[in-house]
Structure 1
Amino acid sequence: MNRKLDIHVGGDFDAMAKRVAEAWHLAEKGEVEGREHLTFVSWDALSKVMTAKRMELLRHLHRNPAVSVAALARSLGRDYKRVHEDVESLSAAGLIERDETGLHAEYAEIRTVIAL
């Protein structure tokens, strides 16, 4: 899958409204951008979710979907409890998908835009 994600950090309501309006206009024209957006209110909020270990987990899961958290922990050589915590956090943020076949990280690209 070739999904793309833009993570926005900070910014104001007007910037978010502009992204929504642009997406709406593209949809009205029948154009699908193929890019999704996720917004964090601050750098602190993003850094609580996206740690180095979680980024490693996302990369691994992108290449190797797992049938369960236990299987993912084994393939990473990490403690089950910590991997479970990471999966919960990344799932809550919308970065990992869970379905009847297991765990998936289907974004081919994640870009981060940080407002100053």
Structure 2
Amino acid sequence: MKTVLIDVCSLSAVKQRVAETFKTGKRQPPRISFPTHELFWKILTPKRMDLLKAMAGAGPLGVREIARLVERDVKGVHTDLTALCKTGIVERVDDAKYQFPYDALHIDFTVIGSKAA
């Protein structure tokens, strides 16, 4: 099963992870990182998460087919797919098809209260 890890971490943490990968030469699992929780929630809205769940492991799908799977209008689904493509989460396969190239997604982040920070 091909799983992508989605997390929230700083740019310095991403740079450190990349440097460690080059140093060890070990291949790392697919990962998508957001710099802030706010950006995470702005991009991965509940409706967009529904799209990812419907597309996971399904291969290339057309907009109308995806809209049917999530029971939404085509225009709204197209708008959300465009946003997900701009962030690199979803791939545009050709003029008519989109793909989420993973079978599953794992979301991992910690929220720290303002008093603890």
Question: Measured at CA, do residues 12 and 102 of structure 1 come closer, stay the same or move farther in structure 2, by a change above 3 Å?
Answer: closer
* Structure number with higher strand proportion: 1
Given that residues 50 and 70 in structure 2 are in contact (C-alpha distance below 8 angstroms), is that contact kept between their aligned partners in structure 1?
no
What stretches of structure 2 of length at least 5 have no aligned partner? 113-117
TM-score (norm 1): 0.76
Q: Percent identity?
A: 27
TM-score (norm 2): 0.76
What is the RMSD computed on CA atoms of the aligned residues?
A: 2.3
What stretches of structure 1 of length at least 5 have no aligned partner? none
* Distance apart, 1:17 and its partner CA: 2.1
Code of the residue aligned with 1:103 in structure 2: it is: Y
Structure 1 range deviating more: 35-44 or 95-104 = 95-104
Number of residue pairs matched by the alignment: 110
Which of 83, 95, 110 is the aligned partner of 2:106? 110
The one-character-per-residue Cα deviations of 1:77-111 (angstroms, maximum 9, x if unpaired) are 21111101111111122221221482221222323
Aligned match of 1:97: 91
Which of 12, 18, 30 is the aligned partner of 1:20? 18
Which structure is richer in relative contact order (CA contacts within 8 A, separation 6 or more)? Answer: 1
